Structure 1
Amino acid sequence: MEYSVHELAITGENPPAKYIYTDSINPSQDPSIPLPLLEIPVIDFNRITTPSVGTGAELERLRSALSSYGCVMDGTVITYLLQDGEVEGLQVLKDEQWFRVPNVPDALVLHVGDHLEIMSNGEFKSPVHRVVLNPERQRMSVVIASFPEEGRQIEPLEGLVSGERPRLYRQVKYSIVDQVGYYWSGTRVTDDARI
């Protein structure tokens, strides 16, 4: 019987083998082998939304973080993640090495999706991520994902294309069927759309 991810989460059953991806870059997911911790900036959104002396600096930190540390390879525009406060599991691939993403209490992790990378003309990055299971403790996170409208044409915003920064991506039409195809083939819409 086929189950959705939500049904598997509710029933607690193990996912079918086809749901498990064996990592070819680092086949060991043994939690006793520590991975380096990825230093990611923590942005105070209260400073961004409240006029203050630190607003400009905080906005620059956010812009720098989104340009350097996207945390997902998927077909979203952006994903908001509230991680489990005690159990780590999120990892990102940077320079062909996996890094642990630290749990910061009550902080949201913003995952830049492939379509935001296209719309920002490569200013914001959408790298690969994975979640590693902890064999001893359960992990519960809350995720809210934002997807483009079905059939929507996605392309770099005009204001982000110039003589100094030419267009990096061609226009693509968003389709959930195409996104599933990219996922199953291990490819990305950003690779397909790159000029």
Structure 2
Amino acid sequence: MHDDHSHGHDSDHHHSHHDPTSPDVRVEALEDLLIEKGLADPERIDATIRRFSHDIGPMIGARLVAQAWADSDLRQRLLDDADAVVADMDIRGAEIEHIEVKANTPSIHNVVVCTLCSCYPWALLGLPPNWYKSPEYRARVVREPRTVLAEMGLELEPDTEVRIWDSSSETRFLVMPERPAGTEGWTAERLAELVTRDSMIGVARAADPGGQ
């Protein structure tokens, strides 16, 4: 948790956006060149990024959470050994070599951050949002989590314990939000529609079932 930040990120993860040889900078330069030459449409690029950020990517994690909501045995297996569950389900992709799942309860709320860069379970949540990578979020959510969460629209009860989990190159975290009331009898497919990317980072609750 947040009292241990010595988590040994790969050296090329440290603020790579300031390094002109970093992949992020080189990709941005290539994108700018393709747009300038009329070979790429910036609106289509943005739409594709939005799709992977909010739809395709997060739905893998959302389906996993929804299945755990509907199956108490799976839920416990995820909390005990998420790596085994992910392997059994043949979920593959970037940055999920070792995953730990932390479940929210009425008395405990979990939040994920990467204080040194932006380690993030891409294969489960898609592309990381810009705010997750920002120095402001990385620094403030550790020092004043309730204030940051409130600014993002999540108000917690005063007696709720907030636990901050610091992702690293060795371990990524996924938050299992609380299952909303009023969803008894729902299928896992329908439940997955309530699980958002932000709720799996811990900066929001699952969506209101009343809107479904």
Instruction: Report which of the two has the higher share of strand.
Output: 1
TM-score, normalised by the number of residues in structure 1: 0.25
TM-score, normalised by the number of residues in structure 2: 0.23
User: Which structure would you say has the larger RCO, counting Cα contacts within 8 Å and 6 or more residues apart?
Assistant: 2
Instruction: Report which of the two has the higher share of helix.
Output: 2
